Structure 1
């Protein structure tokens, strides 16, 4: 019947009182309007369902999309984890999950290229070396391994879940990574030193802002709303871990008896939000404003 197009079209096929959901490879742009004929159109077994109600069909389709997203997240975590381990193994000392680095004393240690000597102010000697080795280049190596593993593993995943995604959605995660990796590389190359000193504070601010945005979007105004869904607890604990990591990064736990009590501040932002959310309810503010209070 000629070459099949790569696009994937969901076609609803009527079969008596029941209907079937099938994912068909479209032969031409009009195929999605002409229907599906079982005798001539192939149906992929992993995407087809038997006779069932429309509600069951919708649940299966949405379940297919959610499982596809979960697989993509798991694959991304696997790529990042493997890249981290491989990066540590290839860095001195080779074969060990540890690094020997030069001590960072000041911000200028990250930008030695700006301090090339100029004897007699005539010729500049380009003898730049990485004074903070390997803290500067190890991040770039990590990004390189992430990119290589993504190009090796992600197409296999896309092929596996292709029946659950449209043609425009299959490679979105790959396209996004191809945009973000160059951006992250430039950020590391230009602002590596700034990120080294500021990342604990960046983590703290991001954890606070994202937690506030999430709780506001989810309309969490009490502990009852918070524990109503397991997903909310998972998000909350994830933010707490980030917050704790930021505190540990700042304090470095040099003095345990003084630094460990700081971890008690981790639940503070969430508790403060829940305690004050009722005072910032928009409907209440509007009602009080209308009454002249």
Structure 2
């Protein structure tokens, strides 16, 4: 039944609305808003989301892409540590992981309105509960529940699932074809099937993680990006330094040798780039409220701070200097104390 929108009162619940015919007439029945609509009026009328997605929405999507890619690289690193992969296999698999995520991300953005454009429309998210409308269905008569479940934050919830679906498809396609071609060209198995199997498990895990914690992630991913980028880079730097422990600890002229090792090893290089991208994502999302693009560009160099500070400060973290000062012998040193 259609009545004048001005004569209607608000709908029960937080996410129930009415559909408008566009001529000042609305349906009297309260229900869930259609996909791509949100409640913006006092009469709880569902209106289309015509605003372009803001920077934070894009950075949230980039964060989920980087999270997915990071899982693939961690699996690749574990396989490399076990000695199950050659250098060529690592490079091929790492390139495949990157291409899978990039192509999946681009196709995902092109599939949302406006179709064929990476600039998408977004309803935005104002609070964590916007991601979980299923928990806010009203019960007007205290007996029957009024179903008002819809994607209130469209497409912030759904485009991650679409991306992960494409990632799963391209994982099977790219790595399956790459594994076959490498075995046909080099007459040996270069891509270990275990890494493909673990990656097939990783993507459903990310799907479950996003389905449950999407709201919490959206309002905290900027801080998580900064923390993750710094900690992961510290870990890979320590690992790289440990591999050059003798030279970096006992020869000051090569104390930066491990820093060059970060760029020589394809896994270390990939993780270093990932840490930088995570940090940039956090910085850009935190500066979403700033209107000055110049200030954003001035803050981006902060993302490379770990690359500069860790080599400079690593010498002070050498325990051998303090052991010598306290009268103890450094590790592996049997000579006289200076």
TM-score by length of 1: 0.68
Tell me how far 1:93 sits from its aligned partner: 1.9
Alpha-carbon distance change, 275 to 179 in structure 1, aligned in 2, over 3 angstroms: same
Matched, 1:245 2:281: yes
Whether the aligned pair in 2 keeps the contact of 1:253 and 1:259 (CA below 8 Å) is no
Alpha-carbon distance change, 147 to 269 in structure 1, aligned in 2, over 3 angstroms: closer
Q: 2:291 aligns with which of 240, 245, 255?
A: 255
Q: 1:175 aligns with which of 170, 192, 197?
A: 197
Aligned runs of 1:203-282 on 2, under 5 Å? 203-219=225-241, 222-223=255-256, 225-227=258-260, 230-231=263-264, 234=269, 236=272, 239-252=275-288, 254-256=290-292, 258-282=295-319
Tell me how far 1:227 sits from its aligned partner: 4.2
Aligned runs of 1:137-176 on 2, under 5 Å? 137-162=158-183, 163-165=187-189, 170-176=192-198
Structure 1 unaligned spans of 5+: 1-61
Q: Note the alpha carbon deviations across 1:142-199, whole angstroms, 9 max, x for none.
A: 1111112222232211112233327xx6312320122111110011100011111111
In structure 1, distance between residues paired with 2:145 and 2:91: 54
Matched, 1:196 2:213: no
Alpha-carbon distance change, 90 to 187 in structure 1, aligned in 2, over 3 angstroms: same
Aligned runs of 1:79-158 on 2, under 5 Å? 79-158=100-179
Matched, 1:284 2:321: yes
Tell me how far 1:76 sits from its aligned partner: 2.0
TM-score by length of 2: 0.60
The size of the alignment, in residue pairs, is 228
Match of 1:36 in 2: none
Match of 1:73 in 2: 94
Q: Note the alpha carbon deviations across 1:28-80, whole angstroms, 9 max, x for none.
A: xxxxxxxxxxxxxxxxxxxxxxxxxxxxxxxxxx9x93222222222222222
CA RMSD of aligned residues (A): 2.9
Greater relative contact order (CA < 8 Å, ≥ 6 in sequence): 2
Alpha-carbon distance change, 141 to 240 in structure 1, aligned in 2, over 3 angstroms: closer
Whether the aligned pair in 2 keeps the contact of 1:92 and 1:100 (CA below 8 Å) is yes
Whether the aligned pair in 2 keeps the contact of 1:253 and 1:260 (CA below 8 Å) is no
Q: Note the alpha carbon deviations across 1:242-280, whole angstroms, 9 max, x for none.
A: 323321121126232655443343343343333332222
Alpha-carbon distance change, 237 to 131 in structure 1, aligned in 2, over 3 angstroms: closer
- SS in structure 2 of the partner of residue 94 of structure 1: coil
Structure 2 unaligned spans of 5+: 1-82, 249-254, 329-338
In structure 2, distance between residues paired with 1:85 and 1:263: 23
Whether the aligned pair in 2 keeps the contact of 1:143 and 1:185 (CA below 8 Å) is yes
